[in-house]
Structure 1
Amino acid sequence: MKTSLKPAYVLSVIIAVVHILPFYLLVTTSLKPLTDLSSKWRLPTAIAWDNFSNAWKMAALERAFVNNIIITALSLVLIVLLGACAAYPLSRYQTRLNKFMYTMFISALIVPPLTILVPLYQFFQDVNGMNTYWGVTLLYVTFNLSQAIFLYTGFIGSIPRELDEAAMIDGMGRFRLFFQMILPLLKPVTATVLILSGVGVWNDYQFSLFFLQQLDMRTITVSLATFFGPYSNNVGWVAAGSLTAALPITILYLLLQRWFMTGLTSGAVKG
């Protein structure tokens, strides 16, 4: 029995090392001064804590963090509410129309956002949605809603229908039933949606680059990209800024990890 587990342990160690190596390189690079030209694999001989302060000041990360927090929070609230509300009837009522709508939502997952970037850009110029919170928030909600509906539909399908029937016998309407009975049961899959969508929105570069072009509307990824140019390449500052930017989403994952896998597997079984 012990012998059969050894390959699994070896594989687990290899996978762990593969995931830890990029983090190790990020940490060592963020702590090296710009004058340190040694191998990226070597530990820094002198720790340059000023990389963090320089990255914070030169990239205006204070404002970028505010933008990221506002955009990510608004997007996640809408993704969770709209995704859960749309998934409930799709899961409970298996009509032809609902099956067709569910198929359309799932089909949207295979559409690369960059393929429709040009018409989107023109549309947002026409409706004055450039450099606005509401404009980029709608973009993130649109491109993350299909995934949320897929996960919520599968998870709601695992909740017994008898719960709905019992609540309606007690006099509950559909809206009250959903918000008081069903929604509280969706914590595991909601944690999964928050993590998957939150990481995507927080780390997004393509939409932020094109639709948030004003300096005071830049997000963290776009702000850090300014350190790269034809005459400068401040890798240490970028690494320090990236490490700082990763902290909020890492904390979010640590808080929600106990529900993450449960919601992911339950949401992928049915639907």
Structure 2
Amino acid sequence: MGNKYTSKTFIGEIFAILLGLVFLVPFYYLITNSLKPFAEILTNTSALPKVLMLDNYVNAFEKLDYLKVFTNSLIITVVSNVVLVIFCSMAAYMLVRTKKKISNIIFMTFVAAMIIPFQSIMIPLIKTAGNLGMLNSIWGLVIMYLGFGSGMTIFLYHGFVKGIPVELEEAAIIDGCSRFGVFWRIVFPLLKPITVTIVILNSLWIWNDYLLPSLVLQDPGLRTIPLATFFFFGQYTKQWDLALAALVLGIIPLLIFFFSMQKHIIKGITSGSIK
């Protein structure tokens, strides 16, 4: 027999709806003000636009050089995710399956690195990157994302790998599969739920990151979307109409990615809970 619809359920639903509306308030301000002329944004921020200023998006698209900065952001995000998934999944697998004290020490070192604030190592990092010729380079930035993202990624993979039966690997080895083949043919496909979760989390972080690219990518031709959007905020003037439209243009690819991966997100959460 199904659960009865009680007053507590009704109150819970009302609370959830209200909470959802609170989280949607910033999106309301962002979208409505991105469709207003500059003067109207300053005089009446909360009201709906009197006239839809779609020219804001056209001008922001042109001034951002959107296709160029979108391509830069896409390359950095995709390549960084691929590198993180490949190296960190293999590292986590070996740390779990190698039953030695050094494995625990290495794992705890990665976990401890997660709590180090970026600001504390920012200056020495950029100085070292300059000495190694990694500044003004997308590939240098990718290597830095590998370093900063490894801690959390290995931590997530490590917990998931422990739930995979060792007997599957032993059977594959008996059938003549190498250790490398065991990982890529047997283990890695089973890591799909957590891999999807990791890709989503890292994509949100890398796509929206401003500080690290601003330090590494000085060439205007290498700007990402957050870097390009910042140039609407000058020292003396702030082009809110174009800046808000640019922010919407930057969010749209992430929303498309998130909704397209929603089914896999739910699978990843349920599989992780069962593990």
TM bin (shorter chain): over 0.9
The structure 2 residue matched to 1:17, chosen from 6, 21, 24, is 21
CA contact (8 A) 2:30 2:248 kept: yes
Q: CA deviation at 1:39?
A: 2.5
The structure 2 residue matched to 1:251, chosen from 239, 256, 259, is 256
Distance in structure 1 (CA, Å) of the matches to 2:166 and 2:7: 46
SS state at 1:43 partner: coil
> Residue 196 of structure 2 corresponds to which residue in structure 1?
191
Question: After the TM superposition, which residues 149-168 of structure 1 pair with which residues of structure 2 at under 5 Å, given as runs?
Answer: 149-168=154-173
Q: 1:231 to 1:268 in 2, by over 3 A?
A: farther
CA contact (8 A) 2:193 2:272 kept: no
CA contact (8 A) 1:72 1:201 kept: yes
> Residue 231 of structure 1 corresponds to which residue in structure 2?
236
**How many matched pairs?**
270
CA contact (8 A) 2:56 2:242 kept: yes
Q: CA deviation at 1:6?
A: 2.9
Distance in structure 2 (CA, Å) of the matches to 1:250 and 1:31: 19
CA contact (8 A) 1:65 1:220 kept: yes
> Residue 39 of structure 2 corresponds to which residue in structure 1?
35
Instruction: Give deviations 1:98-123, integer Å, cap 9, x for gaps.
Output: 11111111111111112101001111
Matched, 1:61 2:66: yes
- State the AA in 2 paired with 1:32: K
More divergent stretch after superposition (55-64 vs 140-149): 55-64
CA contact (8 A) 1:155 1:186 kept: yes
CA contact (8 A) 1:189 1:259 kept: no
Distance in structure 2 (CA, Å) of the matches to 1:229 and 1:265: 46
CA contact (8 A) 1:191 1:263 kept: yes
Q: CA deviation at 1:225?
A: 0.7
Question: After the TM superposition, which residues 87-166 of structure 1 pair with which residues of structure 2 at under 5 Å, given as runs?
Answer: 87-166=92-171
Distance in structure 2 (CA, Å) of the matches to 1:4 and 1:168: 55
- State the AA in 2 paired with 1:116: I
Tell me the C-alpha RMSD between the 2 structures.
1.8
Q: CA deviation at 1:246?
A: 1.1
Identity %: 34
SS state at 2:261 partner: helix
Matched, 1:204 2:209: yes
Q: 1:264 to 1:104 in 2, by over 3 A?
A: farther
Matched, 1:70 2:75: yes
SS state at 1:110 partner: coil
Q: CA deviation at 1:27?
A: 0.6
- State the AA in 2 paired with 1:22: P
Distance in structure 1 (CA, Å) of the matches to 2:132 and 2:274: 40
Instruction: Give deviations 1:30-57, integer Å, cap 9, x for gaps.
Output: 1111131342221100000011111111
- State the AA in 2 paired with 1:222: L
More divergent stretch after superposition (229-238 vs 175-184): 229-238
- Flag structure 2 segments of 5+ consecutive residues without an equivalent: none
TM-score normalised over the length of structure 2: 0.92
Distance in structure 2 (CA, Å) of the matches to 1:206 and 1:120: 13
> Residue 10 of structure 2 corresponds to which residue in structure 1?
6
> Residue 52 of structure 2 corresponds to which residue in structure 1?
47
Q: CA deviation at 1:75?
A: 0.4
- State the AA in 2 paired with 1:11: F
TM-score normalised over the length of structure 1: 0.94
Q: CA deviation at 1:11?
A: 2.9
Instruction: Give deviations 1:222-244, integer Å, cap 9, x for gaps.
Output: 11111111332111211111111
- State the AA in 2 paired with 1:26: L
Q: CA deviation at 1:260?
A: 2.1
SS state at 2:143 partner: helix
Structure 1 consecutive aligned stretches of length 4 or more whose deviation exceeds 3 Å: 261-270
> Residue 170 of structure 1 corresponds to which residue in structure 2?
175
- State the AA in 1 paired with 2:209: D
